[in-house]
């Protein structure tokens, strides 16, 4: 079975050159090294230019460490995306951070439910409870 997509190692490149000098065909070299004959022929066509092309595509803005830091911070916090960006000191957009968080299926971000405000009656009841229980030995309570 031929492997596809992996780059030839320097040892494989040396073997290809040695076998080519020895007179083997490209297909025979490919069979011996368990590589495709196209890979062997492309290498032999121009060995000095093999795997020298620049990387294509847009480079990533977040490193894997950045993504891990974002997910760790988002996993158990009530911070907004903008607050996380500021805390981590990242120079990326909020959407980039949002995509990183959404990329992890274990983290779900939701809007917090609204809690009713404390009324003056609630505040008074809390104050009365505190005053009545100031001398309570709380370490003795289960």
Per-residue model confidence as pLDDT tens digits over 7-61 = 899 999 999 999 999 999 999 999 999 999 999 999 999 888 888 888 788 999 9
| Distance between CA atoms of residues 97 and 17, nearest Å | 48
| Distance between CA atoms of residues 87 and 90, nearest Å | 8
Residue 34 lies in a domain: yes
Burial of 104 (0-12, 13-18, 19+ CB in 10 A): middle
43 & 72 share domain: no
Residue 117 lies in a domain: no
Residue 26 lies in a domain: yes
Give the domain range for residue 22. 10-49
Cβ-contact 87, 77 below 8 angstroms: no
Residue 57 lies in a domain: no
Residue 114 lies in a domain: no
Q: For CA atoms 13, 17, 22, 25, give the dihedral sign.
A: positive
41 & 69 share domain: no
92: CATH: 1.10.10.10
Number of domains in the chain: 2
4: confidence class by pLDDT, cuts 50, 70, 90: low
Burial 50-72 (b: 16+ CB within 10 A, else e): beeeeeeeeeeebeeebbebbee
What integer is the mean pLDDT of 62-78? 91
Residue 27 lies in a domain: yes
Q: In this predicted model, what pLDDT tens digit does every residue of 80-120 receive, in sequence order?
A: 999 999 999 999 999 999 999 998 888 888 877 888 999 99
68 & 45 share domain: no
């Amino acid at each position: 079975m031929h492997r596809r997509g992996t780059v030839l190692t320097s040892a494989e490149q040396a073997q290809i050159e040695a076998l080519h000098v020895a007179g083997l065909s490209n297909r025979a070299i490919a069979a011996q090294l368990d590589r495709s004959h196209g890979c062997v022929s492309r290498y032999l066509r121009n060995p000095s230019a093999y795997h020298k092309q620049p990387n294509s595509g847009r480079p990533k803005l977040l490193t894997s460490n950045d993504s891990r830091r974002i997910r760790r911070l988002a996993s158990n916090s009530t911070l907004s995306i903008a607050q996380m960006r500021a805390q981590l000191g990242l120079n990326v957009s909020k959407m980039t951070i949002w995509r990183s968080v959404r990329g992890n299926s274990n983290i779900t971000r939701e809007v917090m439910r609204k809690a009713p405000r404390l009324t003056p009656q609630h505040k008074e009841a809390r104050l009365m409870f505190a005053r009545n229980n100031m001398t309570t030995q709380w370490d003795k309570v289960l």
